């Protein structure tokens, strides 16, 4: 992550950095709360000054990091519309979709000094909401897997297919099966608006999970 010096502040990059960090924490937390992986692989780490559960498994961490590394350029250019964490059952039908709708406000500026602490506060609230989301969601069947989809605006995906941002980590167009979910219920979780970032988090849940 680039250090912020006064000279080379690139606001788009800053916003993308913040968002990707948050998404990493959020994905780990979703995996923990929805019990996709056994809780033994998670350990408490600190982010935004609160404890969060992050996985220790190196391959899982690497996968999530590579995923977000590829997503970051899209976010910088404001081409990413949604980042979706899809939880699928054994037959690869989605059971739950955690949708992070992202947009950047047109006038991106990091003016106030308290902006970053304000953003931290909002992100903390998001994390809290993810932690308690199991109250509003039904339990998942066992043996679920997850994947991350990115919905982009316009034709940004064509570039992604041509240029492999990370070697041996190709992105492909998602199957219809993974994208669409039958009988979906929409459960909004949290919305946040700040000077550098706007994000909405909601969950689409299949009515019948088993």
Between 114 and 208, CB nearer to other proteins:
114
Long-range pairs, 33-42, Cβ under 8 A, ≥24: 33/130, 33/131, 33/133, 33/134, 34/87, 34/96, 34/134, 34/137, 34/140, 34/144, 35/140, 36/87, 36/140, 36/144, 36/145, 36/146
Between 32 and 146, CB nearer to other proteins:
32
To other proteins, the closest distance from the beta carbon of 142 in angstroms equals: 16
Between 113 and 168, CB nearer to other proteins:
113
Between 24 and 89, CB nearer to other proteins:
24
To other proteins, the closest distance from the beta carbon of 125 in angstroms equals: 8
To other proteins, the closest distance from the beta carbon of 30 in angstroms equals: 12
To other proteins, the closest distance from the beta carbon of 97 in angstroms equals: 19
To other proteins, the closest distance from the beta carbon of 32 in angstroms equals: 7
Say if CB 75 and CB 16 are below 8 A apart. yes
Between 57 and 153, CB nearer to other proteins:
57
Give residues in contact with other proteins (CB under 8 A).
Answer: 1, 3-5, 17-18, 21, 24, 32-33, 39, 44-54, 113-114, 116-117, 120-121, 124-125, 127-129, 131-136
């Amino acid at each position: 992550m680039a250090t912020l010096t006064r000279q080379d502040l690139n606001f788009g990059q800053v916003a993308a950095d913040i968002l990707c960090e948050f998404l990493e924490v959020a994905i780990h937390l979703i995996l923990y709360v929805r019990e996709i992986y056994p809780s033994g692989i998670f350990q408490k780490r600190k982010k935004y000054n609160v404890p969060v559960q992050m996985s220790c498994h190196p391959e899982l961490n690497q996968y999530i990091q590579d995923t977000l590394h590829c997503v970051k350029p899209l976010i910088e250019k404001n081409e990413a519309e949604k980042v979706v964490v899809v939880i699928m059952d054994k037959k690869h039908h989605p059971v739950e979709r955690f949708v992070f709708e992202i947009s950047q406000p047109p006038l991106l500026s990091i003016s106030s000094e308290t902006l970053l602490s304000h953003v931290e506060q909002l992100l903390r609230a998001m994390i809290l909401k993810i932690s308690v989301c199991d109250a509003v969601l039904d339990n998942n069947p066992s043996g679920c897997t997850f994947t991350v989809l990115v919905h982009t605006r316009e034709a940004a995906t064509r570039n992604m297919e041509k240029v492999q941002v990370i070697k041996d980590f190709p992105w492909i167009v998602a199957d219809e099966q993974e994208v669409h979910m039958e009988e979906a219920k929409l459960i909004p979780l949290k919305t946040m608006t700040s000077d550098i970032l706007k994000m909405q988090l909601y969950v689409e849940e299949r009515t019948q999970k088993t």
